[in-house]
Amino acid sequence: MSLAVTLYRHRLVLALVLAVGTLCLLSTRSFSVDGVLDALGDDSRDRPRGGINRHWPEAPLPADAGQGPASHFVQSVLRKHRIVVFSKTTCPHCKATKALLERYHGQYGLRYMVVEADQRKDMDDVKHALASLCQHSTFPSVFVDARCIGGNDDVYAKHANGDLQQIFVEAGLLPRSKLEQHKVALLESTRKLIADNSVTVYGRMADTNAAKAAAIIQGYQHEHAGLAYRFIDLDERADHLQLAEVVREISGQPSLPVVFVGGSEVGGYKGLQRLHASGELSKRLIDTKTSEQSAAERKVRQLIQRNRVMVFSKTYCPYSSKAKRLLGKLKEQHGLQFTVLEADKEADPMEVKAALGKISGRLTFPNIFVDGRSIGGSDDLQAQHASGELIKLLQKAGLIS
Ligand SMILES: N[C@@H](CCC(=O)N[C@@H](CS)C(=O)NCC(=O)O)C(=O)O
> What is the whole-number distance in angstroms between the Cα of residue 364 and the centre of ligand 1?
4
| CATH (residue range 298-396) | 3.40.30.10
pLDDT reported for residue 297: 87
d(CA 28, CA 40): 17
Which residues does 262 contact at the CB level (< 8 Å), separation at least 6? 198, 284, 285, 287, 288, 358, 359
What are 147's strand-pairing partners?
A: 144
- To test ligand 1's pocket by mutation, which of 319, 324, 363 has the most ligand atoms within 8 angstroms of CB? 319
pLDDT reported for residue 157: 96
SS3 (DSSP) at 399: coil
- DSSP characters for 214-236? HHHHHHHTTTSTT--EEEEEGGG
pLDDT reported for residue 288: 64
- 252 torsion bin: left (phi>0), alpha (psi -120 to 50), beta (else): left
Q: Which atom of ligand 1 is nearest to the CA of 317?
A: 10
d(CA 252, CA 116): 45
- DSSP characters for 168-207? HHHTTSS-HHHHHHHHHHHHHHHHHHHHH-SEEEEE-TTS
H/E segment holding residue 19: helix 11-31
The CATH superfamily label for domain 33-170 reads Glutaredoxin (3.40.30.10)
> What is the whole-number distance in angstroms between the Cα of residue 381 and the centre of ligand 1?
13
Sort strands 309-313 and 339-342 into parallel, antiparallel or unpaired: parallel
pLDDT reported for residue 401: 84
pLDDT reported for residue 62: 53
- DSSP characters for 75-125? HHHHHH-SEEEEE-TT-HHHHHHHHHHHHHHHHH----EEEEGGGSTTHHH
> What is the whole-number distance in angstroms between the Cα of residue 317 and the centre of ligand 1?
7
Q: Which atom of ligand 1 is nearest to the CA of 382?
A: 19
> What is the whole-number distance in angstroms between the Cα of residue 300 and the centre of ligand 1?
18
Contact 286, 292 (CB under 8 A): yes
d(CA 243, CA 378): 32
- Ranges of residues in the chain with a pLDDT under 70 are 1-66, 225-226, 287-293
Range(s) for CATH 3.40.30.10 in the chain? 33-170, 176-293, 298-396
Nearest to 85 by CA among 98, 75, 67: 98
The residue contributing the CA closest to ligand 1 atom 6 is 364
State the sign of the Cα–Cα–Cα–Cα dihedral 368, 369, 375, 376.
positive
pLDDT reported for residue 65: 53
pLDDT reported for residue 51: 30
What are 202's strand-pairing partners?
A: 232, 258
The residue contributing the CA closest to ligand 1 atom 15 is 364
Amino acid occupying residue 275: L
d(CA 388, CA 344): 31
- To test ligand 1's pocket by mutation, which of 364, 374, 382, 385 has the most ligand atoms within 8 angstroms of CB? 364
Q: What is the DSSP letter of 46?
A: B
Within 6 A (CB) of ligand 1 lie 314, 317-319, 353, 364-366, 377-379
Q: Which atom of ligand 1 is nearest to the CA of 316?
A: 10
CATH level 3 topology of 176-293: Glutaredoxin (3.40.30)
